[in-house]
Structure 1
Amino acid sequence: MKKIQIISTALIGLTLAACNGGGGSNSSSSNASSTSNPPIESSGLPQKSSNSTVNNVVPVTVDGGPNGNSPYNTPFVSVTVCSVSNPTNCQTIDHIILDTGSMGLRIFANKLNSNLNLTNENVNGSPTAECTLFGSGYDWGSIAMANVQMGSEIATNIPIQIINDPTIPGVPSNCSNQGAYNDLGGANGIIGVNPLPYDNGTYYSCSGSSCSINSNINTNQQVVSPVYMFANDNNGVIVQLPNVPSGGSSSLSGTLTFGIGTEQNNQLTAQNVFTSNGTAQDGSFTTNYDDGSYDSIFDTGSTELFFDTPANSPALAVCQSLSGFYCPTSTTAINTQISSLNGSNAINYSYNIINVENYLNSNLNTEAIPNAAAEGGDNFFIWGLPFFYGKKVFSAFTGANAGGTTGPYFAF
């Protein structure tokens, strides 16, 4: 059996730390509607005229990764990276993790052709580097300037991170002591499309054999979501994945659509829209569960749902052989309430949690596990990739008018 890893690529330390997390407050709402694993929404609303030449949709694939060893429930896209000085000098890199919980494009240096000749970002004459903190560890690398293309959409001359770049000094101790090194589960890189477009990370200036923190990096010098920098269709994204078929799937195909309300194929058809209401800029919302109120995001970069072990019923036993994962005796529904951060737009939402051990024993070749959940919420409730199966989920950038509603928001 392939080893299961808890990646949780949501930038919990960056995107959620500013939110008012907590696990002990009671919450209820009398205006909540009820929802239980709703089907994919169909487009039928009045639609804006489309530019017939635009290609604003790219494939998303859930599979075993470049070497077949990536964690279950990992969604991948392909990204084309080009030299700024020679825009025809390009390379398409597959198996880039799609992550609605982080920001920007980050690629491992050994996956880039040596003749791509990306230019380092220099601030005051010194190369720039970044220590990127994920929920599952850190990555260290240089910042380079590149043109990034997905479909027919292009972001020109934007900062991206080159992880493990051998041309800069090694990782500083004040980065490596933040946790374990994060190999992204064997992926070639990661692209973040969180509603907060810039990562507000920890940046360094490098000189000689060392790098030191530079707190004066401007926003436009930070790693940024390429989608946010597209000329068109740049106000958000739509992630759509099918349900996992009976018997599992070794490769599940979906789509990533750029823009919300900008083309005929990306109208805002969601019934439920959850905003940050100006309190946070990362699209976080509230999940009430088990007598607690938790900050939440819909996160394709987390391979399961993550939430603290419930103190009350229903009891969710932890797996014996898969440490940290929930393995109830039979499929068990958890009852939650999801709302915007200010409590508006609340819905009651029931979600089934399966026994992961039993599912894998019965579906030996699957790469997609529906309704999987694990411990480790740390006072957050993370709706990971299993939530996305059978849904169309919208993620709108901060401050953007996306389908008539101002971001940041998540919607489904």
Structure 2
Amino acid sequence: MRTMQIAVKLKGWTQAVAAVVLVSVLAACGGGGGGSSSSSSNSSSTLNGGSLPASPTQQPIAANAANTVPITVGFGVKGVINIPTVSVTVCAPGSTTNCQTINNIQVDTGSFGLRVVSSQLNSSVLGALSPITVAGGAQLAECATFADGYTWGSVRSASVTIGGETASNIPVQIIGDKAASTVPAGCTGVAENTASDLGANGILGIGTAPNDCGATCANASTATTYSNYFACPGGTSCTRTAVPDAQQVGNPVANFATDNNGVIVQMPPVGDTGASSATGTLVFGINTQSNNKMAAAQTFTTNRSGDLTNSVFNGTTVQAFLDSGSNGYFFADSSLSLCNSPYTGFYCPSSAQTRSISLVGLNGAKTTASIGILSAATLFGNGSNFAFNDLAGQLSGSSSFDLGLPFFYGRYVYYGIDQTPGGQAPYVAF
């Protein structure tokens, strides 16, 4: 997830390859309804001689079961477009009363683990979240690196409830609870330690990995150079450290008592020129309840991070990924015109465009996905819309193809969490 504010600065996300989120500078009010489209027609003025592929039309199920929670796209914290959010309840470990529900937590299938901005937690809950320590009693902190920034904060134990599912006593990152003076030299870029910087009150990483780093941070041989984690004796003088999997920031879904093998992200269809808001459903578990049966046309096994590394776009092998934390499609295509300021970095073709990518799983499964692209300037011309299914931007010189939130509208997208060795391989499906 990478974010961008018009004419202000770039902001980052938690995978190695980035996508973009735009903050509207136009006066706007977030709507409340369930995925209503403000414009769904293929008007000649909008398409300008071009064409768009047919949009998928699946509707989300009602979020009225224990293994579901509503997803909302709207104005949110700061008027950021295409930011899907849920409410998350954080409790002191072992407590059912010292709890707080935090709204506007971004749903990010491209990262792993819960991160909450410290200023959004009241003093009672924050003070009761036990700091995790490493050898010698040093406090554990994490620099969660983004494409062009980072979140810095302590790692603490918390119980996390989403919908009716609870992950007890898991490591979470508390963003911005440590002074800027404690940021270690190895943590560089733009600090994104406030809700304003993030455009959300936190990030819920629910992708295909059970934790956010794995062997790279667990093994001393690699951790000394590449670990996201730092030991801070006395809360300062932080240095990189190896951290076992159990102490790494954990994917809450993988730690649920039940319905813990994956998620389904269900978003409603939206019109070609966007919608004021959209309400979907996040479903926990796959083939564990009557409401989460696997009904995808095809399943693609991935690497641990959910990447389809053998995909092909314009004759070139690319790393493709389906990331709800990205607000658009992001890829390199020199044939598409780029926007002028203030929409720099987005595509502004003179007519509607269609592009296709061949998605290839590690299991050899293949399909062709076609995406539609309208000029970002046209889409943002209506300042009251926050949900778009045909927004695209550039990843300069990139060998990656990011299928961001526009791909999710009108689809059920499945994520199987890595349970190897001995269990299911990570996968995506739709």
TM-score surpassing 0.5?
yes
Q: What is the aligned partner in structure 2 of residue 256 from structure 1?
A: 282
For 1:8 and 1:233, the matched residues in 2 are separated by 30
Q: What is the aligned partner in structure 1 of residue 357 from structure 2?
A: 336
- Answer whether contact 1:233 1:259 (CA < 8 A) is retained: yes
- What's the TM-score, normalizing by structure 1? 0.83
> Structure 1 residue 59 and structure 2 residue 83: aligned?
no
Q: What is the aligned partner in structure 1 of residue 27 from structure 2?
A: none
Q: What is the aligned partner in structure 1 of residue 416 from structure 2?
A: 396
The alignment partner of 1:293 has SS state of strand
Match of 1:364 among 383, 395, 418: 383
The alignment partner of 1:387 has SS state of helix
- Report how far residue 85 of structure 1 moved: 4.5
For 2:282 and 2:413, the matched residues in 1 are separated by 10
The alignment partner of 1:266 has SS state of coil
- Answer whether contact 1:10 1:100 (CA < 8 A) is retained: no
Matches within 5 A, 1:134-153: 134-153=146-165
The alignment partner of 2:191 has SS state of coil
Taking structure 1 as reference, are residues 351 and 333 closer, same or farther at Cα in structure 2, changes over 3 Å only? same
- Answer whether contact 1:8 1:302 (CA < 8 A) is retained: no
Match of 1:195 among 188, 208, 214: 208
> Structure 1 residue 3 and structure 2 residue 6: aligned?
yes
For 2:12 and 2:415, the matched residues in 1 are separated by 18
The alignment partner of 2:190 has SS state of coil
- Answer whether contact 1:283 1:408 (CA < 8 A) is retained: yes
- Answer whether contact 2:208 2:417 (CA < 8 A) is retained: yes
Q: What is the aligned partner in structure 1 of residue 16 from structure 2?
A: 12
**Could you tell which deviates more after superposition, 243-252 or 380-389?**
243-252
- Answer whether contact 1:8 1:301 (CA < 8 A) is retained: no
For 1:238 and 1:330, the matched residues in 2 are separated by 33
Taking structure 1 as reference, are residues 395 and 7 closer, same or farther at Cα in structure 2, changes over 3 Å only? farther
- Report how far residue 122 of structure 1 moved: 1.4
Taking structure 1 as reference, are residues 7 and 339 closer, same or farther at Cα in structure 2, changes over 3 Å only? farther
> Structure 1 residue 102 and structure 2 residue 111: aligned?
yes
- Answer whether contact 1:81 1:147 (CA < 8 A) is retained: yes
Taking structure 1 as reference, are residues 88 and 191 closer, same or farther at Cα in structure 2, changes over 3 Å only? same
- Report how far residue 303 of structure 1 moved: 1.1
String of CA shifts for 1:224-281, please: whole Å, max 9, x gaps. Answer: 01111000000000001111246632321001000000000001100021112xxx21
For 2:179 and 2:96, the matched residues in 1 are separated by 23
- Answer whether contact 1:237 1:257 (CA < 8 A) is retained: yes
- Answer whether contact 1:8 1:303 (CA < 8 A) is retained: no
For 1:136 and 1:208, the matched residues in 2 are separated by 29
Q: What is the aligned partner in structure 1 of residue 291 from structure 2?
A: 265
- Report how far residue 308 of structure 1 moved: 1.2
> What residue identity is the alignment partner of 2:388?
I
Taking structure 1 as reference, are residues 211 and 261 closer, same or farther at Cα in structure 2, changes over 3 Å only? farther
The alignment partner of 2:238 has SS state of strand
Matches within 5 A, 1:258-407: 258-276=284-302, 280-285=303-308, 286-310=310-334, 315-321=335-341, 322-341=343-362, 344-361=364-381, 363-376=382-395, 378-399=398-419, 406-407=424-425
Taking structure 1 as reference, are residues 330 and 350 closer, same or farther at Cα in structure 2, changes over 3 Å only? same
- Answer whether contact 2:57 2:268 (CA < 8 A) is retained: no
For 2:164 and 2:66, the matched residues in 1 are separated by 5
Q: What is the aligned partner in structure 1 of residue 191 from structure 2?
A: 181
Aligned length: 366
> What residue identity is the alignment partner of 1:265?
N
- Answer whether contact 2:114 2:204 (CA < 8 A) is retained: yes
**Could you tell which deviates more after superposition, 239-248 or 216-225?**
239-248
The alignment partner of 1:357 has SS state of helix
- Answer whether contact 1:336 1:348 (CA < 8 A) is retained: yes
Taking structure 1 as reference, are residues 88 and 289 closer, same or farther at Cα in structure 2, changes over 3 Å only? same
The alignment partner of 2:186 has SS state of helix
- Report how far residue 13 of structure 1 moved: 6.2
For 1:300 and 1:211, the matched residues in 2 are separated by 36
Q: What is the aligned partner in structure 1 of residue 138 from structure 2?
A: 126
- Report how far residue 61 of structure 1 moved: 0.4
For 1:41 and 1:94, the matched residues in 2 are separated by 23
- Report how far residue 168 of structure 1 moved: 9.1
The alignment partner of 2:344 has SS state of coil
- Report how far residue 130 of structure 1 moved: 0.4
- Answer whether contact 1:60 1:255 (CA < 8 A) is retained: yes
- Report how far residue 400 of structure 1 moved: 7.0
- Report how far residue 287 of structure 1 moved: 2.9
For 2:376 and 2:17, the matched residues in 1 are separated by 28
The alignment partner of 2:119 has SS state of helix
For 2:235 and 2:250, the matched residues in 1 are separated by 27
Taking structure 1 as reference, are residues 8 and 297 closer, same or farther at Cα in structure 2, changes over 3 Å only? farther
String of CA shifts for 1:115-147, please: whole Å, max 9, x gaps. Answer: 112111112311110000123421100001000
Taking structure 1 as reference, are residues 168 and 7 closer, same or farther at Cα in structure 2, changes over 3 Å only? closer
**Could you tell which deviates more after superposition, 210-219 or 347-356?**
210-219
> Structure 1 residue 410 and structure 2 residue 428: aligned?
yes
For 2:283 and 2:372, the matched residues in 1 are separated by 27
For 1:171 and 1:8, the matched residues in 2 are separated by 17
> What residue identity is the alignment partner of 1:207?
P
- Report how far residue 107 of structure 1 moved: 0.5
> What residue identity is the alignment partner of 1:3?
I
Identity percentage over the alignment?
38
- What's the TM-score, normalizing by structure 2? 0.79
